[in-house]
Amino acid sequence: MEKIASFTIDHTKLLRGVYVSRKDKIEGGGIITTFDIRMKLPNREPAVSQGALHTIEHLAATFLRNHPVWGSKIVYWGPMGCCTGNYLLMQGDLESTDIVPLMQELFTFIANFDEDIPGASAMECGNYMLNNLPMAKWEARKYLVEVLNDMHHENLNYPE
């Protein structure tokens, strides 16, 4: 079986950042760009807790799909199984630099969020008690301050 592209990235060299993971052509000629929103150094620092990652998912999906400029281009936001970040799928042939301002806006929103978590009831979510807003805010602020507000080439391009 052929190895998928994301398993060919050297995770021992991968930094926190915003990366283009893949681009897929869709029927009708469009492109879906998959972004790797890497919040943690893989295998070198603790992963994001499941509760915090789940809360980030609820807040990010809600914020992004309601965004006045980008909302119509959002296909999916969801956590990585390794709990070191999230995947963002968007319509369009995009680059990492195109969405850094959007990610700064998103993670500022999460870091400052002080309301009820959208979709976090038994009726709306399959595991609504697995949420941790204080840790989601802490992780969002850490990623915003340490990575998104100080982006470099190596935080935007996968290691070679």
- Reported as a single tens digit per residue, the pLDDT across 70-127 is 999 999 999 999 999 999 999 999 999 999 999 999 999 999 999 999 999 999 999 9
2 part of a folded domain: no
What is the count of structural domains for the chain?
A: 1
Is the alpha carbon torsion for 114, 71, 55, 127 positive or negative?
positive
How many angstroms separate the most distant Cα atoms in the chain? 46
6 part of a folded domain: no
Tell me what the mean pLDDT of segment 55-62 comes to: 98
Domain of 54, in residue numbers: 15-151
- Output the pTM of the full model: 0.95
Tell me what the mean pLDDT of segment 46-57 comes to: 98
pLDDT given at position 3: 77
pLDDT given at position 160: 84
83 part of a folded domain: yes
pLDDT given at position 128: 95
Each residue's pLDDT tens digit, 126-150: 999 999 999 999 999 999 999 999 9
CB within 8 A of 139, min separation 6: which ones? Answer: 39, 48, 52, 56
9 part of a folded domain: no
120 part of a folded domain: yes
Residue 2 has pLDDT above 90, yes or no: no
pLDDT given at position 100: 98
pLDDT given at position 28: 87
Beta carbons of 107 and 17 less than 8 angstroms apart: no
CATH of the domain at 46: 3.30.1360.80
86 part of a folded domain: yes
pLDDT given at position 110: 98
- What torsion do the CA atoms of 55, 57, 63, 64 make, to the nearest 10 degrees? 170
29 part of a folded domain: yes
SS3 151: coil
19 part of a folded domain: yes
Residue 53 has pLDDT above 90, yes or no: yes
pLDDT given at position 6: 77
